[in-house]
Structure 1
Amino acid sequence: MGNTFLNLALLIIFHFSMPTFSMKLTTILTDQSALLALKDHVIHDPENVLTTNWSASAPVCNWFGVSCGSKHRRVTALNLTGLGLVGTLPPHLGNLSFLSLLYVRNNSFYGGLPVQLSNLRRLKYLNFGNNSFSGEIPSWLGSLTELRRLFLGQNNFKGVIPFSLGYLSKLEFLYLFGNQISGSIPSTIFNISSLQEIYLSYNMLSGSIPSVPRDLLLLEVIDFTSNNLTGHIPKDMFDHLPNLKGLYWSLNLLSGRIPASLFKCKELQMLSLSYNQMEGSLPIEIGNLSMLQYIYIGRNHFEGEIPKQIVNLTLLMAFDCSHSNFTGIIPQEIGNLKNLNWLNLAFNNIAGSIPPQVFNISTLRTISLDTNQLSGHLPSNMGLFLPNMEQLYLDFNHLAGSIPMLEGEIPEGGSFGNYSIESSKGNEALCGAARLHVPNCKTRPLRNSKAKTKLILYVALPIASTILVVALIIIILQNKRRKDKLPTQEDMIPLGTWRRFSYHELRQATDGFNDSRLLGNGSYGSVFQGTLPDGTIIAVKVFKLELETAFKSFDVECDVLRNTRHRNLVKVISSCSNDINFKALVLEFMPNGSLDKWLYSNKQYLDILQRLNIMIDVASALEYLHHGNATPVVHCDLKTNNILLDEDMVAHLSDFGIAKLLCEEASMIQTMTMATFGYMAPEYGMEGIVSTKGDVYSFGILLMEIITRKKPTDEMFAGERSLKSWVIESISSSLNQVVDPKLLSTIGREYLKVKNCALSILQVGLECCVELPNERLHMKEIVTKLKKIKVTLLRDMERVR
């Protein structure tokens, strides 16, 4: 109690001892002078907005980003969001005494926040998010008592959360996520009765969660994801939060039971407690939360049975209680959850049979029941009741019989590398490679079972003729389309000087496609180095036409590359498809090979600046693909092998064989094409959902790989451990354990600069890899973040010198 009064007294003394510019006589000329000072402190203005628009010869109220009040004609709002500005904030901004809104989000401002900003007593909306501000969060923010919204997320703030923020009695939104804030959460924050959302995720906060007072009725979202919070959740935490909709507390060290008070939050839609150390049972009162749509409580120590009352959660779309100690049986009531599309009960001790009611959920796309004690047989007709099923995990149980009604091609490699004939018994419609002892995919075996014969007689035959006619029409149209889409001199990418190549020329250039000329092998083709008669070196990608999908891959690459042009995309010189037996693309040769080769070579080395430049190059390419075309392009297979380096070490994104084009009406599509394991976004791997946010996730994994020099498929990542979880574990403890030792081989102050830069990049990577796609960054934001990290690195390196 004594400390509280002391802190309050210090705040009052501080408040009245501050220089008060607003007491001086100020005019619109004062505002003009303050804004021109800001212009002088901006060292880089890529859009030339301030350079060309902010001039003393024009009225201040007409300047870009500036708004004035109608009564006093003074500057009331300054919004410079997303201009890519680099610089610092001058103390003169404290003279904008009528300012109520100050937004400089999505820029590259750095340095500390000038204390003179405490004079902005009319300020209601402050957004400094996604910049490079550093230092501690200033305690004088507590004197801006009119503040409604405070956004300081995605910066480099350190230190603790000042207790004085608790005196912002009108504050509604507090965003401090994505910084390096440590210490405990001050209880004073929860004294703000107007608070609606609080985001403190992705910091280094520790200690326990403070209790919530009785009058905090408006709070809707509490996000403490990815910190080091410990202890039990207070029993009365949720007694007076009737409006709570989102609880994001995953990736902490919380223990104890779920408090009963949580089940009073009847508006709760998202419950995320995964990756903690919580225990006890899942109370039957869970059924009271009828608005719940997502439950993520996996990776804890929960036990007991899954309550039948879950049937009341009719809006539930995802239920994950995996990697815990749940026992008992799967309640048949789950079958009544008609909106469920993801059910994950894996790695528990659940026994009994799988209730047939589960297979009545037509919306299910993913069922993970592996590593339990399940027994019994699966229903022979379950495939008829799960039309949207894409992922089914049943391994490591005691199930009998075979999995019925599987069909299609068995993939090669990856998880299917050890696939055997035993795995396909009872599934006559499967096809694949000869080594698997299943039919070739170009033929269809007869089905012998009586049940299947009846199905053919009574269901298939009445519509067979219709299907046959439609299929023939589709085949004819596809063949015509394939011929029409073969690139010609007129419609191929307008890059470089066009020329045609024959099969004979390419064969001669590559010494008969000799293995000594082989640059690399991919899923759909091989790339050879070639030399033309005039000495020009080229790369020739020859498609493996023995694979039916290679035809589609060739068409996709042509589609994508015909309509795209960017300095960080591999340039296509021409193509060759003289006949149906040979198809190739002639590409610009990249003398420095792939990023994979450089990253994992013992003879070659990339320093922190080279790695950062490569990241910016790739991010720029993705930004162009996602936002620079009328039809957005999703690459779908981002990895180090698909990033090539030219003679100047500029990165170029390549291999668009499984890329997807999104029509204007759709921000996402679904596919059965699988990308590379380890880089895939969860919604891609589980549901086949393709969107630009999937590329963002893969890019986040790529950032972590480049900094750690660890592949996401490294043998150290097994079971529950992944590259992402390893980075999360290490980033808050000892960064030395996760960063590539080669990067930290410097000494003195340069070592600290490299370490800080690596930490900033890893934080961006984690922001790209959040579980929910809508919470991931856009590529435009990522480019801005990486560029500001580069500006900071160069500035710091210059100081070291």
Structure 2
Amino acid sequence: MIMPADLEDMIRRRYRSLFLLFFMLCSLSSQVISAVSARATLRASSSTNSSVVDSDLAALVAMKAALIDYKGILQSWNTSRGSACGGGWVGVKCEAGRIIAIHLPSKGLGGQLAAEIGQLSYLRQLSVHTNAITGAIPVSISSLRNLRGLYLFHNLLTGSIPASLSPVLQALDLSNNHLSGAIPTSLSTSALLRRINLSYNNLSSTIPSTFSSLARLQALLLSHNQLVGAVPDFSQLANLQTLDLSQNLLKGSFPALQQSSAGASQTGAIVHSSATSSSKELFPSLFTLNLSHNALTGKLPSQIGELSSLLQLDLSNNKFSGAIPPQLANITELSSLDISHNNFTGSLPSSLSSLGNLTHFNCSFNSLTGKVPKLRHTFLASAFVGNKGLCGFSPASLCALPPAPSPETGAANSSGEAAAASTGEKKKKLSALSIVFVVIGIVIVLFLLMCLCSLLFICCCRRSGESMAKAGFTGEKPGQAGGGKGEGAKREGDAPGGKLVHFEGSLGFLADDLLCATAEVVGKSTYGTVYKATLEDGNQVAVKRLREGIVKSQRDFEVEVTAVGAIRHPNLLALRSYYWGPKDEKLLIFDFMQGGSLAAFVHARGPETPLTWQMRMNIAIGAAKGLVYLHEEQKMIHGNLTSSNILIDAHQNAKLSDFGLSRLMTQAANSNVIATAGALGYRAPELTKLRKATTKSDVYSFGIVLLELLTGKAPGEGPSSGPTEGTTMDLPDWVASIVKQEWTQEVFDIELMKGRAPGDEELINTLQLAMNCVTLAPLERPEMSEVLQQLEQIKPDLKQ
């Protein structure tokens, strides 16, 4: 029998159990609801991310459909080959699932750029240059607000430039197309712009004056268009390095060199120094100023001498007039000055003789008068012709004798002569025999003086010849670099029978000066031995004595060496003179480069000598410019490009040497040069069979040099650590093996981190460019012009 108290207790326990069960059910329901909610949120988030990626994917698909893929490069743009961001799509780079770069240069693409490209809202770089893309630049590109680099040069684009572009744009290169219309003034809103290249188009507007607000602008290239109006005042652009406005229809006066004072004209007129006596240094970074082939008028301002960093100044083919300001001589680093085909008057300032670095000069076809001052280098007569009153620049342009005496002076002289004659009648005249004795005495004295001078000259040459004999400068036979006793003295009689020919920019020495110079060996190559020769006046030249038996006949040699001697470019080592001795000694004379070779600079410098990223890129770009000039302007193959043949001047600029020497040599000698280049690791693989250098083999050699600059290793050196330490390996193979193992950072020279360390993107892009240059198939290598453009894009803020 259940008592009431027990029943009450049982009921209480049962209610407590039901309450606990209800609480557990509520808690479980809450967890289920949270999990479902989280899963729904995750699904929604995944759906959102998928839609973003899909939008980028749709833009790529539309872009592929609009392009004509002649070479099948875009076959990888296929969803069956993986995600667009999986690394399998050629030229596509992603970050956090979004497309940030499209890089398809020199891929043989045609067709057009799709308007859907504007959907790639995270795109930072669009590089489809050096293709055959036609049509207009899509207006939708204006919506790419994260775009930093736009490279569409060397295509067939038409139409106008989009009215607005990304506010964070840093580099814009639309050169070598068929664009027309105006240059958008809205470009000045892209305040981060460093490089603008719109050259080689059909643009026909004025140059926007608003460009003066682009404080970071370093290069403004607008040449070969139809631009009109005056040159704006760019004096506020303190970082400007290159200004090229050549081959346009510009008018007005020389551009303003400093900020105009209050109330002064802003139309490009000259502002005198009195207006801004306390202004800052003018264009402290400007290296190149080219205003040639326009219709500019007026006088050159004296303030032009304040452009202290200027290296190249070209004002040719304009309508400038007045006197040439002597302040030009204040630009001490100036290496190239062209003022030809203008209306300049007066004389050439004597102060120009102080420009020691001036190696290219042209003042032809003006109205200049007077005697040409003595310049540091000798220039051809073609640099001065077309000035009727100019004299003293060649043997055929002798300056006139002093003017004849006036009639009054002549009358006075006649009276004096008459008086002397009357007085002379009173004096005894010399007999004919006395006159004969006097003449004979004078002849004997002159003969003795000549003998004495000859003895002194021979003694001088003997003293100098002792040091020369040790170096084997002249008269050296194969295998006798030291020469025998008195070897240098034997050469002294060869000078009169030899032939010394000077080219433009020579120091104007004589054969005797050269043969009596002190000399020391600084290098040897398959072509011969190189000496540093110090002339009597202290000037130093580099002399390459060609080995016997490798040169063509004298007639063929003179034809070819004359063509090589006419080549002038800032990044080519100019041939100044050559000497063909009476016993077939053949000497080539060049400027002496104090910086030595790139090989020594990279591998043999002391720890106190830095080799920063900026220096390496400056050398690479300079060498590339020299090769482009040889390939495109001279139609010439270098054929022997190594780091030893890239020389460094006092300003750490690259100058290519040994170019054109293959033209002077026999076929057997050139084959030997190719074989030697192969042993050093610079020879393109196809030359093993062809034995004939091409522009593509030059590109391969340049790629090796570029790898040398990136890795700090010489070709054939091999790794200094790791499992292959101590072995000899082809430099491209070694780089490829490291990259394949995803140890890319191990490739780069550790000293690159000194100074202003480069970004990862700069290093990777340069490495990729170098590997493209050394690809085994010659047809797949880029042209040197493309290599140069890509180098300038990788480092657009580099000092030129």
TM-score range, shorter chain: 0.3 to 0.5
Please report the TM-score for the alignment, with normalisation by the length of structure 1.
0.45
Please report the TM-score for the alignment, with normalisation by the length of structure 2.
0.45
Max Rg structure: 2
